[in-house]
Amino acid sequence: MVQVAHSHVFNDARQLWLQQLAEGPITIVQPYTRFKVHSVRFHTRTRSAKTKTYSCDVLVKGTGEGDNSGVEYHGVLEEVLRVEYLGEPIKRCVLFRCDWFDPSNPRGTRYSRVNRTYEVNHTRQYAKYDPFIIADVAYQVLYLPYPVGVPQKGNWWAALVNKSRIYEHKSNDGEMVASILQENVMSPTHNIFEALAQHLSDSSHGGDEVIE
């Protein structure tokens, strides 16, 4: 078992837990080529190229303040990585490494009132190095090119959000209820401890299915 050094600054279990996170994950990661988030299946770009369905297009909404608040970031999933942190309980987190399109409006991303959908300029890339997101904040989208000859659409793709999959289950009183699986992927979390508990799991927690 790996021993983690204790600091007098971190004098209770919660603070020690944060110290272990602050020290960063171990350098060995587990890669995957596909991963299921809230019952929506994602493939990496390489794997999607070998399948009939294209499941590597990603959308995530910015949660920053000011100019970054509410910005939609569109990209392509390149790699799925599971990272692990030292100490007990075991803490694991699944990350998506993505290539992002330019989110600036209107040069890189824009909203079409005619089509009622966002469009991305596939020739423009995000200028900053910020490729990683936590897997369960990702929406799945599909990029569709416009037909040849449509004016001012040559470099633009329509970004269509994958329709939520609806399934029926029984509520506590036995009534059949329809649930939308992709609906709550991006519900905001305002408390850091709620966020950590949501995204990190120990070895006894099943979490979302990893398929390999």
pLDDT tens digits for range 107-147: 999 999 988 899 999 999 999 999 999 999 999 999 999 99
For residue 147, is it within any domain? Answer: yes
For residue 172, is it within any domain? Answer: yes
Q: How many CB atoms lie within 10 A of CB 156?
A: 19
Q: How many CB atoms lie within 10 A of CB 34?
A: 18
Q: Which residue ranges of the chain lie beneath pLDDT 50?
A: 1-2, 4, 7, 165-196, 201-207
Angle between helices 13-22 and 192-199 in degrees, nearest 10: 70
pLDDT of residue 137: 93
The answer to whether 123 and 25 have CB atoms below 8 angstroms apart is no
For residue 6, is it within any domain? Answer: no
Q: What are the pLDDT digits (tens) for 149-162?
A: 888 899 999 999 98
For residue 207, is it within any domain? Answer: no
pLDDT of residue 163: 74
- Burial state string for 49-70 with b = 16 or more CB within 10 A and e = fewer than 16: eeeeeebbbbbbeeeeeeeeee
Nearest CA to 54 among 133, 183, 144?
144
For residue 212, is it within any domain? Answer: no
For residue 60, is it within any domain? Answer: yes
CA distance 208 to 198: 12
For residue 15, is it within any domain? Answer: no
The answer to whether 76 and 56 have CB atoms below 8 angstroms apart is yes
CA distance 211 to 35: 6
Nearest CA to 124 among 155, 159, 158?
155
pLDDT of residue 141: 95
CA distance 92 to 14: 17
Structural domain for 102, as ranges = 28-199
pLDDT of residue 12: 66
For residue 95, is it within any domain? Answer: yes
Predicted TM-score (pTM) of the model is 0.72
Please count the structural domains in the chain. 1
CA atoms 189, 195, 199, 203: torsion sign:
negative
